[in-house]
Structure 1
Amino acid sequence: MTRIGRPFDISRLEDEWLEADGFGGFASGTAGTLRTRRYHALLLTATRAPGGRIVLVNGVEAWLEANGKRYPLSMQRYVPDVIYPDVTASLLDFDTQPWPTWRFQLDAQTLLTAEVFVSKATCETVLRWRAEASEPSANSNAFTLKVRPLLSGRDYHALHHENPAFNFNAQTSDEQARVSWQPYGDLPAIQAVTNGVYTHAPDWYRNFYYVRERERGLDFSEDLATPGVFSFNLAEGEAVMILSASIAAAARTANIEPATAHATQLATIEQQRRAAPGSRLQRSADAYVVTRNEGRTIIAGFPWFTDWGRDTFIAMRGLLIASGRYSDAEAILLEWAGTLSEGMLPNRFPDYGDTPEYNSVDASLWFVVAVHDYLATHHATAATRTCLQQAIETILTGYTNGTRFGIKASADDGLLSAGVSGVQLTWMDAKVGDWVVTPRIGKPVEVQALWINALRIAAMWNPRWQQPAERALQAFHERFIDPSTQALFDNIDVDHVNGAVDRSIRPNQIFAVGGLPFQLLDGAAARAVVDQVEAELLTPLGLRTLAPSDPGYRGHYAGTPLERDGAYHQGTVWPWLLGPFIEAWLRVHATGHDVCMQAKARFLEPLYAHLDHAGLDHLSEIADGDAPHRPAGTPFQAWSLGELLRIENLLARMERIAA
């Protein structure tokens, strides 16, 4: 739970909240009600789950008219950088549990509560406002809430501008309980079901300013249309507005029960659903699990990612398997197994179209690791086990014989070689135009750790893979240890030149000790890796992607897309890497209760603290390499949260054993 109380911390105004609908759509905004990103919206829906996302309702302009005064309940920022109106004087506190809730102290007698949540049962966004007065007023209209919806109808990556094609026409029914608009003919209609009164008053609100977009070097201003205004008498009870892009859902709401009753029913269902997972992290984890086709998948991060293979298989180990969500894990693994091509699983599914992209050497190997973790729970049926093992056999056979992008087990040492010019294959995958920032062509260290783990996993049921695993492991020991540091090279046979090595100090070597089912190093060799990573790369929020002593190090992730992508894996901190590091750290230290407590205090407490900043109740994608390690990238990242859950589970098991 994240709560910002009185006096309201002004520095927390732009911390962000997320309400996901389970299909790729979501609502999102800030604690201070300002929209700071193009992705902040109240109704953002996935037309082809989980892709094809469009923004329909960006936000609202809300205010209360009481006793002859007007009290703003929402803030807007306009070009050049003007905030109007300003609610900071009246904003009493903000809480994320059970969903985003604001309290405003409007005057000495009047307290107003506003809340928003997305119903996973119906994909509707529910907004509610309640006023409490310590002294009743003789004027029955003393509390009049006015709400203007701000609409666009655009791709969620785009921006909207005033244009004559926007259709302001409103369709009303049921004594104005239901109002619908269809701004553009090729998009779903927007449905608003309320207990208020709608007055048609079309207008444009121009030049909204999105500060996060400007910081990212992107276009940052937008015009939004407002078709009219809703009025609610809060003296008679709470105000309700239910937004939906589904005609069927809106019709069901209007025809079966009043808006207030339907909102209450949705709130009850949502409270029960959110209470079921138990822990705060598990409740947050649920946001990333979404529908794809007839199966399930994991959104890599909100607000702008869809589902990526590598991210899915890394994240699900903590989000699902370690959290006991076995049916979801099985559904996802089976769904992705059906996308195998030439021994490879996709790197990602594009927003548009169904043709997946296969430019990843490690996504398929992370799939093998995720399957191992799932099968180890003994919840798979015989049919599921057979299907998943066959998928692994296909992957290993394809990689052994050779597949796309030069991916092939080397005949000379059994290690996995990969890479062609102009294609990014590892998780360090930033690319700008034709520039691959970290190409890592050759035999990257974490790819070998994954390859050897995959071979050993498959050897558990097929002895064919035992000898290749032993051969590759021996070659790893012989070829990857840097004699000058006793730690590991980041890459060997660089650019497919035999014997060429990359001595860059990066976090990828940690996977030889932690983060995977089988560690490749032990004893002094393992300790040398952990010590180097700890000394050069460890920060409170994760591991740097490059040591600060390296000439290519970039300590800040900021600026234009070119500048940001150039820093993405050149020093930028990644929280998800703390999972492998903590596991490696535990493996090289003596086990026991005291060691577990030390790991929690040193490594987990800063992550827990971060749950109350940036993406509230979640972990960020990245952070600056330099202190104070400002969070950046997506504020809601699946594998960051997943690895924290996985390590929590690991520490709990270790403590039980120690006891």
Structure 2
Amino acid sequence: MTKPSAELDRAEHHEWWITNGRGGYAAGTVAGSLTRGYHGLLTATIDPPLGRRLQVAKLDATLIDGERHWPLFTNRWADGCVEPDGHSLIDSFRLDGRMPVWSWACGDLLVEQRIWMPPGEDSVWSVYRLVQGRTDAAPRLRIALLLADRDHHHIGHRGDFDPILTLDGDARLTARCADGHDIHLMAFGARMRIDRAWIERFDLPIERERGLPDRQDLLRVGFAELSLSTTAWRGVSATVAPETETGVAPDPEQAFERFRQQDRALVRTARTHLNQIPDVPAWIEQLILAADSFLIERPIGTASARQPRPAGMSVVAGYPWFGDWGRDTMIALPGLTLATGRPEIARRILETFAGFVDRGMLPNRFPGAGETPVYNTVDAALWSIDAWRAYIEASDDLAALARVFPILESIVAHYREGTRYGIGMDPSDGLIRAGEPGVQLTWMDAKVDDWVVTPRIGKPVEINALWYHGLRVMADFAERLGRDPQPYRRAADRAQTGFTRFLRPDGTGLYDVIDGPDGNDSRIRPNQIFAVSLTHSSLDPPARASVVEVCARHLLCPFGLRSLAQEDPEYRGRYEGDVRHRDAAYHQGTVWAWLLGHYALAEYRVTGDAAAAQARLDPIPDHLRDGGVGTVAEIFDGDPPHRPRGCPAQAWSVACILDAWTRLERIRVGKGSTAT
């Protein structure tokens, strides 16, 4: 046994994440070790839309060449030891599209491994091929099959999973779980055998860093034994998909090619959409693929005996622990769907969420099966107006606009007259006020027990930037539909006059909140950037320049904007520790990547220099090779070196960067505009 090394730390710092379009995912470290409770090869949506359960934790392969044994995996144990240390055999790791690919160097043998999830299926493939070897070599793999059946937010322990195991021929093993669903394991070019044993006390260091349970037990149900080939993929597939009951064995070559063809089709679609842009760099193509990973079909309504629930579409806010959230979905929608040339998916998402508008509000948290929507958000409905603006701008779909316009009208009416949580327009200045004690309503929504970390009661600056912007958009919509735009224009004019109250007397940007319980909040936060980045800005050019200058000087980092200036006594430069310590830092200095795209657009609107504004995104390609490879993290430490934190893969981080790059690139090559 060995102790953790710097080499292992580097390999574990890099994580891969792949998804299936149903909310399920596979994830792990490049080293092959588990560092999170969320790591596993198949987390399936057993109870759609959000009932995700870990099914296959590991498929640990050992290469056997005569008397020599080479572990192609790594395990950490609770006593601090590492055994085996297979990460030392990794010759290279890369992504082929979204597919993780390892090359394992074992003496004079070179073995390639690939993992993927078929789109729309709760399935995973882990396959191997001999790339290089001696003519007299006959290498084989022994793969240990480690399963679980637990909620993906929880940790498993000995005895909490007791499946009924059966073999169907030589190459198929089925584990019947307590609720009656099956985990099917199929081997290709292999034989399977049952060998049941609990493997105990896996160490999960990331969970320990987060102040959460950090010991896990897994059930080994057996082994697959296979001979490696230079001409065919050999390995194991696992699924909970019922179609496997047809008895038709899937073909690994065909499944492999279907996955690669889907990735190529996504890039092709985006390139067609971006045909005015002559050179789409590789890192943008990687973001195009990452964008698709957050899009899911989700059942809505109630199923009957004769008819399943109808399928809507939504956005998973971040992997692994977030579901679909109203605010995140509306903010991410333009980048995930419109920048990638998929307006039909944008429309399905928008129409799905429109069906949940209630009293002028969108749910903050989209409901799971049998759950009630939670409406504690002041901004989601306003962001939905902007998302409809982006969709209509891209599609000119006036039929869809006509259908949704009464719902958008109801949003404005309820915000004007008043709705939940004290949300309503102040008739004295035309601005939106919001908030009640104990409730978090803006995107700065951290709450620990009864402690709302950033309550922001009063008139938050980004809410009123969105309100003014939304009123201008509604006037445009009304005019396009042949309706009277004047009521919206008058309300926007009034809000624009009222918005001048956010201007700080010293000329250094905007107040974060006005008319709060303690007066005006002068802390320097990034929320003011939306008063410049949104299509319709209420500010004059000097005020816009002041906002951008303040954000650049106090908040701008390579990967986003800090949520609070470093000089503030409440600034927290590192997002670490237990839940309370992390939430105390979440919006008190932590860097948010989704804000980088908005900053770049705001800078362009002040300077008119699209190339310089776009250059603000230049650090992102390096980040795509760090942390969650091929995607963008949720947050980063406010202090250098700005380590990625939070969700390794976050929808609005990917989306806002992708949207900003495409909009600025169109301007740079003379094919677009971003502002009025």
Shift of 1:444: 0.3
C-alpha separation in 2, matches of 1:363 and 1:418: 13
**Preserved CA contact (<8 Å) 1:326 1:379:** no
What is the root-mean-square deviation in Å for CA atoms of aligned residues?
1.8
Shift of 1:613: 0.5
Match of 2:304 in 1: none
C-alpha separation in 2, matches of 1:132 and 1:637: 35
Q: Which moved more, 1:625-634 or 1:47-56?
A: 47-56
Q: How many percent of aligned residue pairs carry the same amino acid? A: 37
C-alpha separation in 2, matches of 1:430 and 1:456: 31
Shift of 1:10: 6.1
Counting matched residue pairs gives: 629
The reply on whether 1:191 has 2:184 as its aligned counterpart is yes
C-alpha separation in 1, matches of 2:367 and 2:671: 46
Shift of 1:50: 3.1
The reply on whether 1:200 has 2:197 as its aligned counterpart is no
C-alpha separation in 2, matches of 1:556 and 1:503: 23
Q: Which moved more, 1:326-335 or 1:394-403?
A: 394-403
Structure 1 residues 67-86: Cα deviation after superposition (integer angstroms, max 9, x where no partner) = 21111011111103221100
Relative to structure 1, the CA distance from residue 337 to residue 235 in structure 2 (aligned partners, 3 Å threshold; closer, same or farther) is closer
Structure 1 residues 503-539: Cα deviation after superposition (integer angstroms, max 9, x where no partner) = 000000111111x110121321111111111000000
**Preserved CA contact (<8 Å) 1:610 1:619:** yes
C-alpha separation in 2, matches of 1:364 and 1:486: 30
Match of 2:255 in 1: 266
Counterpart among 572, 590, 597 of residue 611 in structure 2: 597
Shift of 1:292: 1.1
Match of 1:371 in 2: 388
C-alpha separation in 2, matches of 1:322 and 1:234: 42
In structure 2, list runs of 5 or more residues that go unmatched. Answer: 1-5, 268-284, 300-310, 479-484
Match of 2:59 in 1: 60
The reply on whether 1:611 has 2:627 as its aligned counterpart is no
- What SS does the aligned partner of 2:614 have? helix
**Which amino acid counterpart does residue 215 of structure 1 have in structure 2?**
E
**Which amino acid counterpart does residue 167 of structure 2 have in structure 1?**
T
**Which amino acid counterpart does residue 463 of structure 1 have in structure 2?**
Q
Shift of 1:56: 0.8
**Preserved CA contact (<8 Å) 1:103 1:113:** yes
- What SS does the aligned partner of 2:377 have? coil
Query: TM-score, normalization: structure 1?
Result: 0.93
Match of 1:103 in 2: 103
Query: TM-score, normalization: structure 2?
Result: 0.90
Counterpart among 223, 229, 247 of residue 223 in structure 2: 229
C-alpha separation in 1, matches of 2:437 and 2:546: 33
Match of 1:529 in 2: 547
Match of 2:443 in 1: 427
The reply on whether 1:474 has 2:497 as its aligned counterpart is yes
Q: Which moved more, 1:344-353 or 1:606-615?
A: 344-353
- Where do 1:279-298 residues align within 5 Å? 279-293=285-299, 294-298=311-315
The reply on whether 1:463 has 2:486 as its aligned counterpart is yes
The reply on whether 1:342 has 2:335 as its aligned counterpart is no
**Preserved CA contact (<8 Å) 1:441 1:494:** yes
Match of 1:276 in 2: 265
C-alpha separation in 1, matches of 2:76 and 2:55: 19
Shift of 1:484: 2.0
C-alpha separation in 2, matches of 1:486 and 1:374: 34
Relative to structure 1, the CA distance from residue 381 to residue 596 in structure 2 (aligned partners, 3 Å threshold; closer, same or farther) is closer
- What SS does the aligned partner of 2:527 have? helix
Structure 1 residues 554-603: Cα deviation after superposition (integer angstroms, max 9, x where no partner) = 000000100000000000000110111111111111x3xxx3332333x1
The reply on whether 1:442 has 2:448 as its aligned counterpart is no
**Which amino acid counterpart does residue 166 of structure 1 have in structure 2?**
F
**Preserved CA contact (<8 Å) 2:601 2:613:** no
**Preserved CA contact (<8 Å) 2:614 2:665:** no
Counterpart among 205, 210, 213 of residue 204 in structure 2: 210
Match of 1:126 in 2: 125
C-alpha separation in 2, matches of 1:8 and 1:282: 31
**Preserved CA contact (<8 Å) 2:296 2:315:** yes
**Preserved CA contact (<8 Å) 2:286 2:630:** yes
- Where do 1:115-194 residues align within 5 Å? 115-137=114-136, 142-163=138-159, 166-173=161-168, 175-182=169-176, 184-186=177-179, 188-194=181-187
**Preserved CA contact (<8 Å) 2:11 2:87:** no
Counterpart among 620, 632, 636 of residue 649 in structure 2: 636
**Which amino acid counterpart does residue 287 of structure 2 have in structure 1?**
L
**Preserved CA contact (<8 Å) 1:522 1:588:** no
Structure 1 residues 109-160: Cα deviation after superposition (integer angstroms, max 9, x where no partner) = x11111110000533211111224432227xxx3221111111100000011
**Preserved CA contact (<8 Å) 2:233 2:252:** no
C-alpha separation in 2, matches of 1:171 and 1:380: 54
Match of 1:4 in 2: none
**Which amino acid counterpart does residue 66 of structure 1 have in structure 2?**
D
- What SS does the aligned partner of 2:186 have? strand
- Where do 1:37-76 residues align within 5 Å? 37-76=36-75
Structure 1 residues 247-279: Cα deviation after superposition (integer angstroms, max 9, x where no partner) = 32x224xx334x5xx111111111111011222
**Which amino acid counterpart does residue 256 of structure 1 have in structure 2?**
V
Structure 1 residues 28-71: Cα deviation after superposition (integer angstroms, max 9, x where no partner) = 11111111111111110112333011001111221011121111
Match of 2:568 in 1: 550
**Preserved CA contact (<8 Å) 1:169 1:227:** no
C-alpha separation in 2, matches of 1:526 and 1:596: 16
Match of 2:85 in 1: 86
The reply on whether 1:385 has 2:409 as its aligned counterpart is no
**Preserved CA contact (<8 Å) 2:233 2:253:** no
Counterpart among 335, 358, 361 of residue 375 in structure 2: 358
**Which amino acid counterpart does residue 407 of structure 1 have in structure 2?**
I
Counterpart among 502, 509, 523 of residue 487 in structure 1: 509
C-alpha separation in 2, matches of 1:291 and 1:427: 25
Relative to structure 1, the CA distance from residue 289 to residue 368 in structure 2 (aligned partners, 3 Å threshold; closer, same or farther) is same
- What SS does the aligned partner of 1:508 have? helix
In structure 1, list runs of 5 or more residues that go unmatched. Answer: 1-6
**Which amino acid counterpart does residue 638 of structure 2 have in structure 1?**
G
C-alpha separation in 1, matches of 2:611 and 2:161: 59
- What SS does the aligned partner of 1:114 have? strand
C-alpha separation in 1, matches of 2:85 and 2:563: 40
**Which amino acid counterpart does residue 77 of structure 1 have in structure 2?**
R
Shift of 1:381: 4.9
The reply on whether 1:77 has 2:76 as its aligned counterpart is yes
- What SS does the aligned partner of 2:153 have? coil
Relative to structure 1, the CA distance from residue 534 to residue 172 in structure 2 (aligned partners, 3 Å threshold; closer, same or farther) is same
Shift of 1:219: 0.5
C-alpha separation in 1, matches of 2:445 and 2:9: 36
Shift of 1:545: 0.4
Shift of 1:9: 8.8
C-alpha separation in 2, matches of 1:187 and 1:572: 44
Shift of 1:8: 8.0
Relative to structure 1, the CA distance from residue 235 to residue 403 in structure 2 (aligned partners, 3 Å threshold; closer, same or farther) is closer
Relative to structure 1, the CA distance from residue 535 to residue 41 in structure 2 (aligned partners, 3 Å threshold; closer, same or farther) is same
- What SS does the aligned partner of 1:377 have? helix
Counterpart among 522, 528, 533 of residue 503 in structure 1: 522
**Preserved CA contact (<8 Å) 1:149 1:226:** yes
Shift of 1:200: 1.3
**Which amino acid counterpart does residue 24 of structure 1 have in structure 2?**
G
